[in-house]
């Protein structure tokens, strides 16, 4: 494994003892493994967040199915919204 020093660290490892170079290699490998773990955890977090959104959506669909407005025919809802628009225009209320 080629040991890449952290940014700002010297590239020339010849000034270090063999023990220090070995230790730097171990530390660099550990850093690489931690970065991989971080990437996997970030992916898992995204998957969990997506699952939460889907679950909330399913909950809302079931909950809202019992809403009184959901049981009204579309024609009645349309008439109600049109009437409320006309009342708003006549009263001068702007939203």
Q: Residue 28: CB partners within 8 Å, gap ≥ 6?
A: 1, 3, 4, 5
9-13, 15-19, 63-67, 70-74: which range is least confident on average? 9-13
Answer whether residue 62 shows pLDDT above 80: yes
pTM for the full model? 0.56
Tell me: do 24 and 54 sit in the same domain. Answer: yes
Query: Cα–Cα–Cα angle for 60, 73, 88, nearest 5°?
Result: 85
The count of domains in the chain is: 2
Domain of residue 49, residue span:
1-64
Whether 52 and 28 share a structural domain: yes
Domain co-membership, 58 together with 74: no
22 and 49 part of one domain: yes
Indicate whether 48 and 4 sit together in one domain: yes
Same domain, 75 and 51: no
Above 90 in pLDDT, residue 8?
Answer: no
């Amino acid at each position: 494994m080629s040991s890449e020093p952290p940014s700002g660290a010297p590239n020339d490892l010849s000034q270090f003892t063999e023990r220090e170079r070995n230790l730097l290699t171990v530390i660099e490998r550990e850093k690489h493994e931690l970065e991989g773990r971080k990437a996997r955890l970030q992916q898992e977090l995204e998957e969990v967040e997506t699952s939460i959104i889907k679950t909330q959506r399913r909950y809302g669909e079931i909950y809202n199915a019992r809403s009184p407005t959901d049981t009204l025919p579309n024609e009645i809802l349309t008439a109600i919204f049109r009437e409320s628009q006309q009342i708003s225009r006549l009263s001068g209320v702007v939203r």
